[in-house]
Amino acid sequence: MKVNLTTKQIALIAVFAALYFILSLITPYIPAIGVPEIKISLEALIATIFGVILGPYLGAGAAFLGAIISWMFTGALPTNLPFVFSPPLNALASGWIFYNKWKLSFVMFTVLIVAFLFTPPVQPLATNWYIAVAVLFDKIIALLLIIPLVKLFKGKMSIGKTAGFFFILAFIGNEVDNMWGSLAFATPIVYQSLFGMDTATVQGLFLISPFAYPAIRLIQAAIGMVILVPLVNSLQGTDWLWSKDNIISRACKKYQVPPLSSQTVSP
Task: Check residue 258 and give its pLDDT.
Answer: 46
Task: Check residue 77 and give its pLDDT.
Answer: 85
Q: What is d(CA 172, CA 111) in angstroms, rounded to the nearest whole number?
A: 15
Question: What value does the mean pLDDT of the chain take?
Answer: 85
Mean per-residue pLDDT, 179-190: 95
Quickly state the pLDDT bin for 265 (edges 50, 70, 90): very low
Mean per-residue pLDDT, 86-90: 95
pLDDT tops 80 at residue 196? yes
Q: What is d(CA 45, CA 223) in angstroms, rounded to the nearest whole number?
A: 8
Mean per-residue pLDDT, 48-65: 94
Task: Check residue 126 and give its pLDDT.
Answer: 94
H helices within the chain, ranges in order? Answer: 7-26, 46-54, 56-73, 86-98, 102-116, 125-151, 159-185, 188-191, 199-208, 212-235, 247-255
pLDDT tops 90 at residue 47? yes
Residues 6+ apart with CB under 8 A from 206: 121, 131, 134, 135, 182, 186
Domain spans, the chain: 7-262
Q: What is d(CA 198, CA 217) in angstroms, rounded to the nearest whole number?
A: 28
Q: Evaluate whether 94 touches 47 at the Cβ level (below 8 Å).
A: yes
Mean per-residue pLDDT, 193-211: 89
Tens digit of pLDDT for each residue in 222-237?
Answer: 999 999 989 888 887 7
Task: Check residue 190 and give its pLDDT.
Answer: 94
Task: Check residue 266 and give its pLDDT.
Answer: 36
Across the strands, what pairs with 31? 39
pLDDT tops 60 at residue 256? no
**255/185: higher pLDDT:** 185
Task: Check residue 261 and give its pLDDT.
Answer: 44
